[in-house]
Amino acid sequence: MNPPSETELVAKAQGGDRSAFDQLVALHYDKVYGQALRMMKSTEEAKDVAQLAWIKAWRKLSTFRKESAFTTWIYRITTFTALDAIRKRDSRRESFVEQEFLENAAHLESSPVASAQQIRSLERKELLERIQNAMDQLPEKLKTALQLREIEGLSYEEIAQRTECKIGTVMSRLFNARKTVQKHLADLMS
């Protein structure tokens, strides 16, 4: 007796057969993990992303319409899961760096020339100028995506509609824009 095909396993899994889904995981886990590792650059984060991608796949299996290969579908889930994890990781890092910067500024002693509040105000103004300078150096598409997200507060979907591109493209542009701005501000983070 031949082992069931991927199509048969998907159909059984969509019917609630957990062992059929486990077989799909066994067939494709290494590829999914490899995709996550390429994006995350960390084995631990890649394992987390791969696990989360499979959980999402199980929960969303009923939405898989077989218009594309199962591997294409699970890769897409993995990619979006990794992009979301990168965005959250970078957001936490950015918040931590800004908080640390502001806390350090808050503990400065008053000088005979300026009060601690005046020093904090100047440092914040300098920081904002540095961020704006870094943003001005971005390619227009990256700058637009970053401004729409961070300044106007638009969702990925709204940015995609406004810029007439796919959500994945928006996520990629935001990721690249944030990385570039971070490089320009690297000396503040050390």
Structural domain 6-82, CATH architecture: Orthogonal Bundle (1.10)
DSSP string, 17-72: -HHHHHHHHHHHHHHHHHHHHHHH--HHHHHHHHHHHHHHHHHHGGG--SSS-HHH
Q: Indicate yes or no: pTM above 0.75.
A: no
- Domain extents for the chain? 6-82, 108-189
Residues 77-126 pLDDT 10s: 898 898 888 888 776 655 555 555 555 554 444 444 445 565 556 566 77
Residues 21-72 pLDDT 10s: 999 999 999 999 998 888 888 899 999 999 999 999 999 998 888 887 898 8
Q: Are 41 and 82 in contact (CB under 8 A)?
A: no
**Residue 159, burial from CB neighbour count under 10 angstroms (0-12, 13-18, 19+):** buried
* Tokens coding 97: 């760096």
82 to each of 57, 75, 77, 93, how far by Cα in Å?
A: 14, 10, 9, 16
Q: Provide the CATH topology of domain 108-189.
A: Arc Repressor Mutant, subunit A (1.10.10)
Separation of alpha carbons 29 and 69, rounded Å = 15
Separation of alpha carbons 101 and 187, rounded Å = 12
Separation of alpha carbons 49 and 55, rounded Å = 10
